[in-house]
């Protein structure tokens, strides 16, 4: 547990140091691929395709995993959350996919803290962290 906390703390500290504006809202609209859960690339690496989170200029959000999540992103100076998050309810056979989808859904329904720089988006709660890499 200490290793996970330390790793998350270190990653957060590095990103904060690398970005002049960690809460750079203008950098959010993009397509982001899930790259890690709690600092670990498993179960993400086990998936045939990395799930993507699309945030548009109006902060509409769509997550494409086994299930599709859609909603409107609400931002404060510290947190993000998605109000009225709609979700499909497919039975995800691949356990890793269901795990990743569950973590992303928890982070989006927040409130969750977020850090963003040019190529990385980190959404975290007091218990978990989901890291995304910019696709486009």
Q: What is the pLDDT of residues 3-19, one digit of tens each?
A: 454 444 444 444 444 44
In the chain, the percentage of residues whose pLDDT exceeds 70 is: 82
Average pLDDT rounded to a whole number, residues 82-93: 83
pTM of the predicted model as reported, rounded to 2 decimal places: 0.77
Q: What is the pLDDT of residue 90?
A: 81
Cβ–Cβ under 8 Å, residues 35 and 16? no
| Domains in the chain with CATH codes | 2-134 (2.40.128.270)
Q: Which of 117, 124, 122, 87 is nearest to 24 (CA)?
A: 117
Residue 87, Cβ density class (10 Å: 0-12 exposed, 13-18 middle, ≥19 buried): middle
What would the pLDDT profile of 38-72 be if each residue is shown by its tens digit?
Answer: 999 988 988 888 899 999 999 999 999 888 999 99
Identify the residue with better confidence: 88 or 32.
Answer: 32
Average pLDDT rounded to a whole number, residues 95-103: 86
pLDDT class of 22 with cuts at 50, 70, 90 = low
d(CA 35, CA 100): 10
Q: What is the pLDDT of residue 9?
A: 44
Residues 6+ apart with CB under 8 A from 3: none
d(CA 117, CA 66): 27
């Amino acid at each position: 547990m200490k290793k996970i906390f330390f790793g998350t703390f270190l990653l957060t500290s590095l990103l904060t140091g690398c970005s002049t504006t960690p809460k750079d809202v203008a950098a959010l609209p993009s397509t982001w691929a899930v790259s890690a859960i709690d600092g670990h690339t498993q179960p993400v690496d086990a998936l045939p395709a990395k799930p993507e989170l699309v945030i548009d200029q109006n902060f509409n959000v769509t997550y494409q995993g086994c299930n599709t999540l859609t909603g409107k992103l609400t931002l404060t100076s510290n947190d993000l959350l998605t109000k009225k998050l709609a979700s499909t309810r497919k039975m995800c056979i691949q356990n890793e996919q269901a795990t990743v989808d569950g973590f992303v859904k928890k982070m989006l329904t927040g409130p969750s803290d977020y850090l963003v720089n040019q190529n990385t988006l980190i959404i975290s709660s007091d218990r978990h962290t989901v890291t995304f890499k910019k696709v486009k």
